[in-house]
């Protein structure tokens, strides 16, 4: 990646480098709603912005990717990816060398210089002995043994929830892979015998590991193993309670809202969440957001004023004695 292609993911999301995971998730959720193509039909600029913030969130929400990004900057993808470092000797190819053992680029250079001088070779041999390629490369260990290969497999929420058949190009091969229902970010799919080939024994091959990454959804997110969403309700529904319709992965369901519910409280829909590895369903958490109307009809305003005039409860009475 050229320096001019570097993307400042923190700037794209508008957060500081010290921002924690919750803050990053909160900002992304707001930006994703703002720029999602469904909210901006035909707006190419909004679509591009949505892809940009999704890419930034994908990196900064992943602990390992964020660590590499913070350490290596514009060269973070090369760290541990089996690619050569850009710059310097432009035609140098480091093959399957594992850069993740170094804290930064300077440390790698210092160690490399030491190896050239006849020192530090033991460290280099250790790096090769645990080689595992990433991406769909050749996957051949420098010592001649077959190696495993890894690749990232992006899936939509729908593909992850229902399962999907994928056709992948792996080197010179085209393979069909069945992704089971319930795959999500962090899931790893093992495809036996599709890894690197041992050049001294063509019958010996490693395995291919597909690391699943779910693309962001404009309504559903994860909180641990639970599927979560946010649903707005009107003030009268919050006060009086009632029945509302809520989307689930398999369609709309009716949910009873208890009287007096507060904004931020969650309702649990048991068995309506994500599929787990046993084939069972987890829970879906519905976070309530009270939507205050910005525009009122004359009748609505009249009744709200009557409610205010006859209200008997002061919701801030408990704050009267607050002092420092």
- 169-173, 259-263, 302-306: the lowest-pLDDT one: 169-173
Q: Which residues contact 274 (CB under 8 A, 6 or more apart)?
A: 161, 182, 184, 222, 225, 226, 227, 249, 281, 282
What is residue 284's predicted lDDT score, i.e. its pLDDT? 96
For the CA atoms of 185, 281, 244, 157, the dihedral, rounded to the nearest 10 degrees, stands at: 30
What is residue 48's predicted lDDT score, i.e. its pLDDT? 87
Q: What's the mean pLDDT when you consider all of the chain?
A: 79
- In percent, the amount of the chain with pLDDT more than 90 equals 40
- DSSP lists the bridge partners of residue 204 as none
Question: Predicted confidence band at 78 (pLDDT cuts at 50, 70, 90)?
Answer: low
Q: Which CATH architecture has domain 132-216?
A: Sandwich (2.60)
Task: Report how far residue 267's alpha carbon sits from residue 241's, in angstroms, rounded to the nearest whole number.
Answer: 13
pLDDT, tens digit, 9 for 90 and up, residues 217-243: 999 999 988 999 999 999 999 999 999
What is residue 127's predicted lDDT score, i.e. its pLDDT? 27
What is residue 5's predicted lDDT score, i.e. its pLDDT? 62
Q: Are 152 and 213 in contact (CB under 8 A)?
A: yes
Task: Report how far residue 217's alpha carbon sits from residue 13's, in angstroms, rounded to the nearest whole number.
Answer: 17
Q: Where are the domains of the chain?
A: 132-216, 221-315
What is residue 164's predicted lDDT score, i.e. its pLDDT? 94
Q: Does domain 221-315 have CATH number 2.60.260.20?
A: yes
What is residue 171's predicted lDDT score, i.e. its pLDDT? 73
Q: Which residues contact 206 (CB under 8 A, 6 or more apart)?
A: 139, 146, 147, 148, 149, 195, 196
Question: Predicted confidence band at 104 (pLDDT cuts at 50, 70, 90)?
Answer: low
pLDDT, tens digit, 9 for 90 and up, residues 39-48: 788 888 888 8
**Phi-psi sector, 73: left (phi>0), alpha (psi -120 to 50), beta:** left
Q: Are both 132-216 and 221-315 of the same fold?
A: yes
Mean pLDDT across 158-184:
89
pLDDT, tens digit, 9 for 90 and up, residues 137-151: 444 444 445 578 888
What is residue 38's predicted lDDT score, i.e. its pLDDT? 74
- Collapsed DSSP state (helix, strand, coil) of residue 317: helix
Mean pLDDT across 49-67:
88
Q: Please compute, for residue 82, the number of CA atoms within 13 A of its CA located in the half-sphere on the CB side.
A: 21
Instruction: State the pTM of this model.
Output: 0.53
Higher pLDDT, 108 or 247: 247
- 93-107, 147-161, 260-274: the lowest-pLDDT one: 93-107
């Amino acid at each position: 990646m050229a320096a001019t292609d570097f993307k400042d993911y923190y700037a794209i999301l508008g957060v500081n480098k010290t921002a924690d995971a919750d803050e990053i998730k909160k900002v992304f959720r707001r930006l994703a709603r703002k720029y999602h193509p469904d909210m901006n039909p035909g707006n190419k600029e909004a679509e591009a912005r949505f892809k940009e913030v999704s890419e930034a969130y994908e990196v900064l929400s992943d602990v390992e990717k964020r660590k590499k990004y913070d350490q290596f900057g514009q060269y973070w993808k090369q760290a541990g990816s089996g690619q050569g470092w850009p710059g310097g000797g432009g035609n140098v190819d480091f093959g399957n060398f594992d850069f993740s053992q170094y804290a930064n680029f300077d440390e790698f250079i210092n160690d490399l210089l030491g190896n050239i001088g006849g020192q530090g070779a033991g460290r280099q041999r250790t790096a090769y002995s645990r080689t595992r390629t990433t991406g769909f490369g050749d996957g051949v260990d420098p010592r001649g043994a077959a190696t495993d290969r890894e690749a990232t497999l992006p899936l939509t929420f729908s593909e992850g929830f229902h399962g999907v058949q994928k056709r992948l190009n792996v080197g010179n091969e085209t393979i069909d892979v069945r992704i089971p229902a319930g795959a999500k970010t962090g899931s790893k799919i093992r495809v036996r015998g599709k890894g690197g080939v041992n050049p001294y024994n063509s019958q010996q091959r490693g395995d291919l590991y597909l690391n699943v990454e779910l693309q962001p959804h404009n309504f559903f997110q994860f909180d641990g193993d639970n599927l979560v969403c946010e649903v707005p309700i009107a003030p009268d529904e919050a006060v009086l309670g009632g029945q509302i319709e809520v989307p689930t992965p398999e369609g709309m369901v009716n949910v009873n809202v208890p009287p007096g519910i507060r904004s931020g409280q969650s309702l649990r829909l048991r068995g309506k969440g994500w599929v787990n590895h046993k084939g069972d369903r987890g829970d879906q958490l519905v976070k309530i957001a009270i939507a205050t109307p910005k525009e009122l009809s004359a009748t609505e305003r009249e009744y709200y004023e009557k409610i205010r005039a006859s209200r008997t409860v002061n919701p801030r009475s408990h704050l009267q004695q607050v002092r420092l």
